[in-house]
Structure 1
Amino acid sequence: MSKSFNPLVEGEGVENLSSAEKDHPNFIDEERYLQLGKGGGAALCKFLQRMQGMSNGFYSVINFNPDNRLRKYQLFFLGISRAAYKSFWDVVTFDITYLTNRHKIPIVVFMGVNHHGQSIFFGAGLISSQDAYTFVWLFQIFLECMNGQTLSAIVTDQDKAIKSAVAIVFPRIRYRFCLWRIMRKLPEKLGSHAQYTCGLKSVIQNCLYDSQTCDEFEKSWQMLLDIYNLHDNAWLRGLYSEWTYWVPAYLKDIFWARMSITRKSENVNTYFDGFLHSKTTVKDFFDQFDSILRRKIDNEDKADFNSFNSMISCISPSLIKKKFQEMYTIAKFKEVQQEFVGMISCNCS
């Protein structure tokens, strides 16, 4: 506060200022209140009432200031999400896409993946601050909503505040940064390098995806820095200091449901596709939330029906493949078939 106030005093003189120093923290404090926008407050109340009437399992928490003003967060969960969590609790993504993309709606989302490989919604929060205290509060409420059943692994953005909150609330789970998001930053961080399109990009990808052991990765990484003279690159140094949180070779021992290395990492975008965009208001979000959930429920119901009532043929008479065919959903069995096809061209050594 003093750094912002003192220059004003030196330039204008304290007697000419329209505000006192004590007013500046108050202004900053005001800005931290959740901005619901026009009609947002009424839409929020109607939404909570509607959801409570639709499901006895609906769960919502509002954090108020001592003077009963809505501050910082609104978190809501649905009964069907709590039921899904009992089956798919092991890997959760915490997505802050709508905070980082300058959307009007300050939403963070807890997501998972079901037995069809579809994105599933566990819960969401509306927040106006992105500090560790806020994320700790959100994670604690998430656990409370899910009856204290903790997860095995979590995937998040590379964010210091989130990392601190995970360490506090989930100290014993496996934690990783979204690799897909890190790789998306390559053009921004290294695109100006003279050899970016002439080998650098491919070498980075090979270093990450083809290294089967930690030693292989370290050797490839050092070779990358040497060949392209990148030892002084601050972004790469920062990544290297946290490699245990994002390098695949260090994380192979944990099931991640493929949520950290593919476009699945953008599941919040695909989940809300067609409903949310950069100009969506809080009011619009609450008005459309029922439709968002209904579409996803219908998609899962259709996938369940198809898996129970039809079967795709095996591409070979393998007995073990027939067992997969009986036990797996159609979407997962297709993935098994792809692995078998890839295996045909492999030479064992």
Structure 2
Amino acid sequence: MSTTQRNESMNAFFDGYLHAKTNLKEFVDQFGSALKKKIENENQADFHSFNFIILCISHLTLEKKFQEVYTNAKFREVQQEIMGMIYCHFHFQKQDGVITTYHVDNEIKIEDFIKEVVYTVYFNEAELEAKCVCGLFEMRGILCRHILVIFSARKVCGLLEKYILDRWRKEIKCRYTIIPSIYDEKDQRPETFRYKRLLKICYEIIANAASYDGYTEDMVSKLYTMNEVYHT
């Protein structure tokens, strides 16, 4: 279940596969089909992320940063929060050392009604980081519109690494897609075959090098050197 993103419901994951009166064997088969489809959809989405760029909708430096590092699917979620900034208005509340507390009024449309919800944002001037009581970052891994509007007002242009999660980085997803899984087709890509070949050799080297501390240190040093060469 860890392959699913948190904002997806269980029904969406099994849609078209799981039905009423399903026995255990059918459940296992249907779960496998649903998981395989999930992997296929993620790989297709990743392909678009590596080959197509979604244009920014604002001049915010932070949006440009997320455009560069996040997959297209996650970047669209970021853009939803950026668009939502126009419905947010903040007010200074208090200053306690380097921590400034703001109240952010967020106009939310519910059917034909407009509801105003107030969120509290704590901004650390020294570390240039913020925390919002809405908990969107903790739940979905993206900065909420309430934090973004404070960052914009305080001229925060840089983005801390803590706000960019590996789960949705383009380069991390690119490496992940070459790792073989039980759902790979027989005609695997050349990258996957090369990965498996190198992995087998690495296992043998590790087993030998781990037998002596001097070998281990020598191997670590050489691997770092090799990685620098191949990375460039």
Assess same fold via TM > 0.5: no
> Whose Rg is larger?
1
TM-score normalised according to structure 1 size: 0.24
Q: Which has the higher contact order (CA 8 A, sep 6+)?
A: 1
TM-score normalised according to structure 2 size: 0.35
